[in-house]
Amino acid sequence: MVGRRLLLVSTLLGCFLFGIGAAQNPVVEMNLLSSTAYRLDSQDLMQGMGMDLKISLPSENSGNVRGEVAFRTTYNSLVPTPITSVDDVIYKAYLRARFPSFRLTAGKTRLSWGDGILFNAADILYGSSSVSVDLTQAELRSKTDWMVSVNYPLGFFSFAEAVFLPSMTGEAQDMGVGGRFYTNAGETKVEGGYLTKKETTRVHKLYTSLQGNIGPDWYLASSITIDQSNPSASDIQKSWLISGGLFHMQYLSGERNLSLRLEMLSRPFGTWKFESQSEASCALLLYPEVVYSPTSTLSFSLRAILSPLDFSTMLSAGASWSVFEGFALIANIAAPFGESGDLFNWDESSAAALTLGASWIY
């Protein structure tokens, strides 16, 4: 097992070095972090180092074919995550070809269906309803997958898109197929789509999404999931998700600006009682975010996931100082607040954590 891991790491390092030497404009993003965590239940104080490394090899931004290869690996000594396959390190590897009448995308990448940085019911490709996210990360949803998609323009603001998800098991019946339609109705963006894929069993998913502007940007989406093997009205009701959000950027005097965001996720047939909640049946979740930048090089952020029905929350506060071009010092503190049995609480898997580190992009 150790020999296989060493071979895998050696192969990936060789790919990194070869890619960097051959690429016209490689981009390296490196985050080095020191974390101190405290667990209330066991009263343990822990300290460790972490790293987030991303190497991107994008093509030139010209021509009819463009693409990118990106390798990414994350390590945290407090919660080690082993690399079990090359796919764990290949973050992106795709090409986009522009034909006269359509556009083709193939490889490992991410398609954005609907709107929302944390909660997005329209994201039936990857799922954007889980609260198991790291609020200290700049990008809250970043999952990628292998696919082939064809985008066919129907007008200046309209298109149809088909997507094919290859089987990862080698069985043809495990492949996924879907599509969406996108258009504008006045000043409102309208889209809807369908996807069938193999999860535990084969499921069929449908969604619709709207986005517009009323001063702040607003967005709203809804989706349902139907189990092919045992469709029941009760399960369809439980799968119903509704998400929405508001976003506004306020520019102040000088270089100051303030961005405000509020997102919500609702399960209409979930548990609406004021009692301890579970993630699978929680009827209402909120995500507020405030980012204040007093200068172009300094920013402060406050993020939270709120469960109003059991009065619990996951809270994160952070600061980033761009000292030099591409180099920044960062600090974050995150902690759950809730009672035992609540969605967010001080159990054996939760801790308050202080993270200090540096980020360098070159």
| Contact in structure between 102 and 151 (CB atoms under 8 Å) | yes
**What would the pLDDT profile of 59-96 be if each residue is shown by its tens digit?**
988 889 999 999 998 887 777 777 777 888 899 999 99
91 SS3 class:
strand
pLDDT of residue 70: 94
> Do residues 316 and 341 make contact, with C-beta atoms less than 8 angstroms apart?
no
Half-sphere exposure at residue 196, Cβ-oriented, CA atoms within 13 angstroms: 10
Q: Residue 355 has what pLDDT? A: 92
pLDDT in the model for residue 173: 85
CA atoms within 13 A on the CB side of 233: 0
Q: Which residue has the higher pLDDT, 10 or 143?
A: 143
Residue 18 has pLDDT above 60, yes or no: no
pLDDT tier for residue 24 given thresholds of 50, 70 and 90: low
Q: How confident is the model at residue 329 (pLDDT cuts 50, 70, 90)?
A: very high
Q: For 199-240, how does the pLDDT look when each residue is reduced to its tens digit (9 = 90+)? A: 888 999 999 999 999 999 999 999 999 999 888 899 999 999
Residue 14 has pLDDT above 70, yes or no: no
Token pair recorded at residue 305: 């996931």
Mean pLDDT of 254-259: 92
CA distance 108 to 146: 4
Q: Is the pLDDT of residue 331 over 50?
A: yes
* Cα-based distances in Å from 301 to 36, 259, 304: 20, 9, 10
pLDDT value of residue 50: 87
pTM of the model: 0.88
pLDDT in tens, 99-152: 999 999 999 999 999 999 999 999 999 999 999 898 988 889 989 999 999 999
Read off the pLDDT band of 311 (50, 70, 90). Answer: very high
Whole-number percent of the chain with pLDDT over 70: 93
Res 17 pLDDT > 50: no
Instruction: Give dist(CA 69, CA 59) in Å, integer.
Output: 9
